[in-house]
Amino acid sequence: MTLRFGTDGIRGRDTELSPELVVAVGRAAAAALDLAPGRRFVIGRDTRRSGPMIESALAAGLAAEGLHVERLGVIPTPGVAHVSAAEDVAGAVISASHNAFSDNGIKLFAPGGRKLSDAAEARLERRLDALVSGSAADVDPPVGGTAIGSVEDRPEAVVDYGDHVLATALEGRGLDGLSIVLDAAHGAAWALGPEVLARAGAKLTVIHAEPDGCNINAGCGSTHPEALSRAVTGHGADLGLALDGDGDRVLAVDHQGNLVDGDQLIAVLAVDLEERGRLRGHTVVVTVMSNLGLRHGMADHGIAVVETPVGDRHVLTALEQGSWSLGGEQSGHVILPELATTGDGLLTGLLVAEVVVRSGRTLAELAASAMTRLPQVLRAVPVARRDPGIVAAVADELAGAEAELGDAGRIVLRPSGTEPVVRVMVEAPTRDQAERVAERLARAVERVAVPAPG
């Protein structure tokens, strides 16, 4: 069995994404997306050491199917999605997002900037299996001669994307007078992020913007905002923004050093858009992992909440089906489909900063007036393999915990779509109760799950 799609593309250890396998992924992608020879295909990547190796292998597989590949270099995921949407070309991002540098992955976009449908992913997996096993008689050999595709660099794409973000987020306004600390996570936006915020007029301090191929997300970025919190209070800044490795998510820190997570950012933007009559359908879309306090806060402001499974693709699908204008995840994926086809950390950060400037209120005030976050405890229980049956195996324990919390709390228990862990999320009126229930469920999972090796 070859690699499989999770909630955010193909992902694995860099040793699993061997050059031989990635060449096959490129060939399979061309077939699964029904891309005829001569079509263009764009590739971007983050700063992981394995990125150039995987980029070269993927480009080789695509060129072997006759596609003309444009390498965009180090660029955030939403930058590739923007090119894909604006130019109606397929694309890929080589990244493992917020994971450690030793992981990597491939996210694919169909022409138009959308992540692949379930059907397209299934076609790609079947084609990949056939290529790797050599068992399918209908797998055509690579093209040859003048039909072989080209591979060329297109470094100016990241500049064009930065121009797009500025024009889209600020609509001619600026961030003059606002002091911001940016944590670039040593990732894909390490150069572009500071440039865009400086051009917007912010007084800027930058941390974690010295990638060496191995330090992406290491104790920094959206998964480790503690350093950003210290930097904001230490510099007396108005707020801080923490990107992740591929730049498609952002978390914030207010002037007091308090974390403002994705739920709160969505709430702040939702209330602002609603007050200006720009929130379509008076509705936001979030996942099952979003805090119960967000639902209460939105109700207080007359805003409906639609819930989806975990994954920004599910959020985007719901947004499109309902013709709504805002959604996202607690992790910091925020999607505004009128502005972008995927989560965009830099765009979201600029939009939130612009609300701060325009309103004359601090981020802390805006977040507090939009919602009150209930105590929430998360546990990630390591397992040897992803097994959807684990939830059913602990059904009795789960039912008992849900009965204890009643309507005052909430539980989400699910296998991760990107990592070999089972995620346990508990919300309760007090943190002590949330921690106690989460620990009880985590132990129940450990009893029935095959433990992770080592």
* Residue 2, SS3 per DSSP: coil
Distances (CA, A) of 354 to 67, 329, 397: 41, 21, 46
> Residue 426 corresponds to which tokens in the numbers above?
């508990």
**Cβ-based neighbours of 336, under 8 Å, separated by 6 or more:** 269, 325, 326, 347, 348, 351
Nearest residue to 242 via CA among 347, 342, 349, 336: 349
CA angle 39, 108, 48 (to 5 degrees): 115
**One of 50, 84, 95, 97 is an active-site residue; which one?**
97
* Residue 14 amino acid letter: D
Task: Compute the half-sphere exposure of residue 229: CA atoms within 13 Å on the CB side of its CA.
Answer: 13
Helix extents (H) in 323-382:
345-359, 363-370
How far apart CA 417 and CA 314 sit, in angstroms, is: 13
CA-wise closest residue to 296 among 352, 208, 373:
373
Is 97 catalytic? The answer is: yes
By the 8 A CB rule, do 222 and 249 touch? yes
What token pair was written down for 320?
Answer: 């499109």
Identify which of 337, 343, 308, 309 has the alpha carbon closest to the alpha carbon of residue 323: 337
In degrees to the nearest 10, what's the CA dihedral of 187, 211, 156, 31?
Answer: -60
Active site residue ranges: 97
